[in-house]
Amino acid sequence: MTMTINGAPVAPPTDPRVSLLDLLRERLQLTGTKKGCNQGACGACTVLLDGERVLSCLTLAVQADGRSVTTIEGLVVEGAMHPLQEAFIEHDGFQCGYCTPGQICSAVGMVEEWRRGSPSHVTPDLAQGGIALDRDELRERMSGNLCRCGAHNGIVDAILATYAKEPAA
Q: Does 31 bind ligand FES (CB under 6 A)?
A: no
Per-residue burial over 96-125, b if 16 or more Cβ lie within 10 Å, else e, is eebbbbbbbbbbbbbbebbeeeeebeebee
Instruction: Choose the stretch contacting ligand FES; rule: CB under 6 A; options: 69-77, 83-91, 95-103, 106-114.
Output: 95-103
Q: Which is nearer to ligand FES, 58 or 122 (CB)?
A: 58
Residue positions counted in the chain: 169
Give the span between the Cα atoms of 60 and 95, in whole angstroms: 30
**Among 54, 99, 138, 156, interactor with ligand FES by CB under 6 A:** 99
Q: Does 105 bind ligand FES (CB under 6 A)?
A: no
Q: Does 38 bind ligand FES (CB under 6 A)?
A: yes
Instruction: Choose the stretch contacting ligand FES; rule: CB under 6 A; options: 24-32, 39-47, 121-129, 161-169.
Output: 39-47
Q: Does 36 bind ligand FES (CB under 6 A)?
A: yes
Q: What part of residues 45-64 is at the interface with ligand FES (CB under 6 A)?
A: 45, 55, 57
Give the span between the Cα atoms of 111 and 14, in whole angstroms: 34
Q: Which residues of the shown chain bind ligand FES in the complex (CB under 6 A)? A: 35-38, 40-45, 55, 57, 94-100, 147-149, 151
